[in-house]
Amino acid sequence: MTPASAGGPSLRAVHAWLMLLPALALLALFTHWPTLATLVDSLHSTPKGARAAVWVGLENYRVMADDPVFWKAVRNNALFASATIPASIALALAMALWVNERLAGRAFLRMAYFTPTVLPMIAVANIWLFFYTPQYGLLEQFTGALGLPSHNWLGDPDTALGAVTLVAIWKEAGFFMIFYLAALQSLNPSLREAAAIEGTSRWFFFRRVQWPLLMPTTLFVLVNAFINAFRMVDHLFVLTRGGPDNASTLLLYYLYEVGFGFWDTAYAAAITVVLVAVLAGIALLQFFVFDRKVHYR
């Protein structure tokens, strides 16, 4: 063995690490270091004026455990996630199956379904704010035509969160549809032809052939849907601002209020740590538990 060949693998390893170094540096600088700094800040008090931050240990977490608004935001976010995740995924899959068929105006339908995704969330929130406006909003015009009484959908604690949830489903379903449509178009056409020869119904073909082959896409969409459900904040500024009486406050919006409304950065850091831990746990659960049920081609 020559010296050149002996040093070949080690030189390739060094070259590989050098190629990865810029990405690793950016990842550490903008992901790992902020996460570590947030964890450290959550164990200190909030600096105010000339008073520097001091070590308080788990005091911010004890405050969080006794904070009723925090737990209300957790409950709201759990309800928001339990509604938006299955509804947006099911709607996206139904739309993808429909526009994947050979029908008139298929290109227009695809564009119409995907349009909400490319619209800025603030613009979307303003559109829906007009829909929900009492007395003269579009929804009020429809319910009034049916003889129903006027209702303040965003001002009622019983309906505010549901109204916000509907906007999120409308916004996300088109985005997830693109992934399902791409996955459906990548399936072997001979599978459908064989099913047609056997006289298989569409439902049986979907349940026994298409759905198992779409599981990798579903796992990817599921992870993104979970993340989106816990990072939704922008349309709350336009629609409800977390009200009324925190009925539509979500975790990220409450984090923003604590950090930039009350300027309690230490408590906001503690909420951030909990939120990151929850999302990391959900992601690990999905990849290491649900991934076993995925059938890769």
User: How many structural domains are present in the chain?
Assistant: 1
Task: Return the SS3 of 11.
Answer: helix
Tell me the pLDDT tens digit for each residue of 34-85: 889 999 999 999 888 778 888 998 999 999 999 999 999 999 999 999 999 9
Mean pLDDT across 105-129? 82
Residue 36 forms part of a structural domain: no
Tens digit of each residue's pLDDT (9 = 90 or more) over 237-289: 888 988 888 999 999 999 999 988 888 999 999 999 999 888 888 878 877 77
Task: Identify residue 272 by its one-letter amino acid code.
Answer: T
1 has a pLDDT exceeding 50: no
For residue 7, is it within any domain?
no
118 within some domain: yes
- Domain contains 4: no
- Amino acid (one-letter) located at 4: A
- Peptide linkage before 244 cis (omega within 30 of 0): yes
In a domain, 241, yes or no: yes
Q: Which residues of 61-92 are buried (b: 16+ CB within 10 A; e: fewer)?
A: beebeebeebebbbebbeebbebbbebbbebb
The CB-based long-range contact list for 55-58 (8 Å cut-off, 24+ gap) reads 56/266
Of 133, 123, 138, 290, nearest to 221 (Cα)? 290
Does residue 6 belong to any structural domain of this protein?
Answer: no
- Residue 149's pLDDT is 84
Q: Render pLDDT for 180-237 as a digit per residue (tens, 0 to 9).
A: 999 998 888 888 888 888 888 888 888 888 888 888 899 889 888 988 898 888 888 8
Query: What CATH number is attached to the domain comprising 70?
Result: 1.10.3720.10
- Residue 183's CB is within 10 A of a number of other CB atoms, namely 21
Q: Which of 113-117, 161-165, 253-257, 289-293 has the lowest mean pLDDT?
A: 289-293
Token pair 């779409």 is found at 214
Q: Residue 7: pLDDT band by 50, 70, 90 thresholds?
A: low
pLDDT at position 134 over 90: no
Domain that holds residue 105: 66-293
